[in-house]
């Protein structure tokens, strides 16, 4: 499974070094160049900035975890569906926000597996994140020859998701949010992680046998405010804890 990080920040990036690891756009995760997980407003411009504009024509499937702007943009969906059909997988709430003739909508239900083309099976798992108007916010299991656990956002693991599904599988790669950086835990920790809370999740997954011994753990959704740590400062801490600190354009083959 080929994983490309197309945007690893959240909110408007306040750093101006566009070609550095400190510049983090809002974006998603590209799987095997055909499936995009989350599609906020910066995705297409990030693809262009990375010199990969031809990839937009190969994206046929989009998964949306929830409706917050750092994960979803109706305009981005329209851009990617401008000249071709796009299969869109999301909650009923998110699907109700999308108006585009070329979009084929697939409503998701927690724990119900869905085939995505001939290549993937996805399992939407409820997260602890808070959405809009009783919206269900999802994490995803994406499986083909390998298994990816995409866990943006949600803070600590949703108990129902762990009991009903995660405790029964083997995962090759986990993508966790680190939206609080090194900030101390607070009420925000209900919905996001700092690096140490992310490490607690990693420990739970490893001790519970959810992840294979050689599983990769990736941190994304990194703060982009000038007051936060830059990549070179946060990366050694992440490495010491057993994480890969992602950046826009990072490529990993699992």
* Residue 36: HSE in the Cβ half-sphere, 13 Å Cα cutoff: 28
In a domain, 254, yes or no: no
The confidence score (pLDDT) of residue 189 equals: 59
Would you state the pLDDT for residue 13?
Answer: 81
- Confidence (pLDDT) at 231: 86
Residue 95 falls inside a structural domain: yes
Cβ pair 89, 106 in contact under 8 A: yes
C-alpha distances out from residue 248 to 16, 48, 177, Å: 14, 12, 14
The SS3 assignment for 243 reads coil
CB atoms near residue 175 (< 10 Å): 25
- CATH, residue 196: 3.60.15.10
Q: What pLDDT score does 83 carry?
A: 87
Instruction: Report residues of the chain scoring pLDDT below 70.
Output: 185-190, 226-227, 229
Q: Establish if 216 belongs to a structural domain.
A: yes
Alpha-carbon distance 129 to 105, whole Å? Answer: 23
In a domain, residue 90? The reply is: yes
User: What pLDDT digit, counting tens, does each position of 101-150 carry?
Assistant: 899 999 999 999 999 988 899 999 999 887 777 889 999 999 999 999 99
Q: Is residue 201 part of a domain?
A: yes
The helix/strand/coil state of 108 is coil
Q: Per the domain annotation, does 79 fall within a domain? A: yes
Containing domain of residue 58, as a range?
2-248
Instruction: Give the integer Cα–Cα distance in Å for 219 and 66.
Output: 19
Give the rounded distance of the alpha carbon of 29 from its chain centre. Answer: 6
**Residue 123 included in any domain:** yes
Output the CA torsion 73→76→77→79 (10° steps).
160
Cα(105)–Cα(120) distance, rounded to whole angstroms? Answer: 17
Please give the full DSSP string across 200-215, using - where no structure is assigned. Answer: HHHHHHHHTT-EEEEE
| Burial of 96 (C-beta count, 10 Å sphere; 0-12/13-18/19+) | middle
pLDDT of residue 34: 95
Q: What are the tokens at 131?
A: 């959405």
In a domain, 169, yes or no: yes
If one counts the domains in the chain, the total is 1
Single out the residue of 253, 252, 248, 249 nearest to residue 22, CA to CA.
248
Helical (H) or strand (E) element with 44: helix 43-49
| d(C-alpha 201, C-alpha 83), whole Å | 41
């Amino acid at each position: 499974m080929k994983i490309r990080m197309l945007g690893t920040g959240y909110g408007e990036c306040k750093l101006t070094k566009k070609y550095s690891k400190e510049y983090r756009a809002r974006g998603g995760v590209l799987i095997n160049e055909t499936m995009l997980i989350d599609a906020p407003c910066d995705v297409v411009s990030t693809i262009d900035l990375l010199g990969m504009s031809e990839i937009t024509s190969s994206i046929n499937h989009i998964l949306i975890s929830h409706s917050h702007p750092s994960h979803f943009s109706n305009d981005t969906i329209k851009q990617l569906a401008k000249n071709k059909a796009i299969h869109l997988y999301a909650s009923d709430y998110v699907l109700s926000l999308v108006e585009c003739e070329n979009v084929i909508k697939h409503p998701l239900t927690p724990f119900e597996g869905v085939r995505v083309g001939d290549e993937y099976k996805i399992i939407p798992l409820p997260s602890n994140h808070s959405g809009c108007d009783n919206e269900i916010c999802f994490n995803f299991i994406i499986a083909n020859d390998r298994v990816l656990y995409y866990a943006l956002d949600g803070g600590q693991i949703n108990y129902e998701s762990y009991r009903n599904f995660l405790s029964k599988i083997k995962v090759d790669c986990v993508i966790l949010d680190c939206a609080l950086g090194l900030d101390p835990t607070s009420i925000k920790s209900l919905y996001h992680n700092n690096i140490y809370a992310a490490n607690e999740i990693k420990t739970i997954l490893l001790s519970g046998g959810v992840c294979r011994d050689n599983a990769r753990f990736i941190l994304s959704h990194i703060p982009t405010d000038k007051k936060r740590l830059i990549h070179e400062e946060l990366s050694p801490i992440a490495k010491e804890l057993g994480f890969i600190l992602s950046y826009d354009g990072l490529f990993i083959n699992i």
